[in-house]
Structure 1
Amino acid sequence: MRLVVGLGNPGKEYERTRHNVGFMVVEELARRQGAVLKKKFLFPARVAKCRIGEHEVRLIEPSTFMNCSGKAVWGAMKKWRAEPGNTVVVYDDVDVAFGGIRVRAKGSGGSHNGMKSVLEWLQTKGFPRVRVGIGPKPPEMDMIKFVLGGFPEQEHLKLEKVVERAADAVESIFSVGTERTMNEFNQLQIG
């Protein structure tokens, strides 16, 4: 089983914030596959079942809030017996410029509290991730206000393209592997 987990915060007030780009990418993948994300009984996430290429995939949006994302990712991996290498985590990254996408096969959580939680729960760094650029944060702005803030009107069209491109990267990981996907996607910057 393959999993795609988008990190974000549940609730209407967070829907279009920078911190919910991971959810936006999962929703784009669900839209492409004609899948519907539904709240699972006794499981802290919205989940959809679909196929990406030849793989059966569960698309997951944890409802545990960002800083506790690891609990839902760990629970999903146990429930669907997914290996770390078959679990792709998609999340926002303030250290990547808006429009940039960075694919990695493994690594640290950097300054991202959601990824820190995932790493703590999984006890491994060895899973692919798609980092979606939301930066840079203006120096005078508080980090929490920045990531929980919405995108300015002039960035909405670009945001749509970035989300589509990040979804392309996830599909590419499943079709050609993480290394080739890194080579194709990491140099691109959506203008």
Structure 2
Amino acid sequence: MIQLLVGLGNPGPEHALDRHNAGFWFIDQVATAVGVSLKPERGFFGDVARLRLHGHELWLLQPSTYMNRSGQSVGAFARFYKIAPENILVAHDELDLPPGQAKLKLGGGHAGHNGLRDLIAHLGTPNFWRLRLGIGHPGDRAAVVGFVLGKPPQSELKLIEQAMEQSQAVLPQLLKGEFEAAMMQLHRGNRAGGQAAKAGA
């Protein structure tokens, strides 16, 4: 079951609205929903909150390192609390999914995502859960850096927020270790959301 929920992003107000901070946005949404605040923990190089959700204990973590050093924070936290990689869910921005879609996945490569790359290096395995929050793709590989470090238009932000709400709705299953049920519910919600977006276009 999931014991640690990590959001990836870059610290500082200058990055708060970047697409690359979608993982941070998700953690903020969860924290707001349950009424907790994240507090800086120097030993873990990040901001941390502890809560009970649906009868289970869950930690929230936002690394305060920059994206490409996210593993320093997550690795330190996981080692201290003896949390296995397969009990960690990492929320991150995903170029290969459109805004409004979110998918769960266990393991895999980093696909060029520097936060995932560093996590794999520090945890010593790619076998942690990922919540892939779609932000879309600029269409040109050379434009990716500026795109992820840019602010999405309001229409896309609304879709990303809806996908995060759907993701938050499957947390009860994830906390119980019911991963197949969580994936089915989330991916079914993606299809419904995509159809609604097309109807409104």
> Is TM > 0.5 for Structure 1 vs Structure 2?
yes
Q: Is the 2:99–2:156 Cα contact (8 Å) retained in structure 1?
A: no
1:47-92 Cα shifts (integer Å, max 9, x gaps): 1111122221110000111111111111110122211121111100
Q: Relative to total residues, which structure has the larger helix share, 1 or 2? A: 2
- Report if aligned partners of 2:51, 2:58 keep a CA contact under 8 Å in 1: yes
> Number of residues paired by the alignment?
191
Match of 2:133 in 1: 132
Residue 140 of structure 1: how far off its partner (Å): 7.6
Q: What is the TM-score when the length of structure 2 is the normalising length? A: 0.88
How many Å separate the matches in 1 of 2:12 and 2:75? Answer: 22
Larger Rg: 2
* Number of the residue aligned with 1:103: 104
* Match runs of 1:152-171 below 5 Å: 152-171=153-172
Cα distance change, pair 171–25 in 1 and its aligned pair in 2 (3 A):
farther
**Which stretches of structure 1, 4 residues or longer, exceed 4 Å deviation after superposition?**
none
State the alpha-carbon separation in 1 of the partners of residues 118 and 178 from structure 2: 25
Give, in angstroms, the shift of residue 114 of structure 1.
Answer: 0.7
Task: Give yes or no for the alignment of 1:39 onto 2:7.
Answer: no
**What letter is aligned with 2:117?**
K
Superposition RMSD on alpha carbons, in Å?
1.8
The gaps in structure 2 that reach 5 residues or longer are: none
Structure 1 portions without partners, runs of 5+: none
C-alpha contact (below 8 Å) 1:105/1:178 kept by paired residues: no
Residue identity (%) = 32
Give per-residue Cα distances to partners, 1:125-162, cap 9 Å, x unaligned. 22111000001223286111000100112323223212
- Which moves more between the two structures, 132-141 or 51-60? 132-141
TM-score with structure 1 setting the length: 0.92
Change (3 A) 1:175 1:152: same
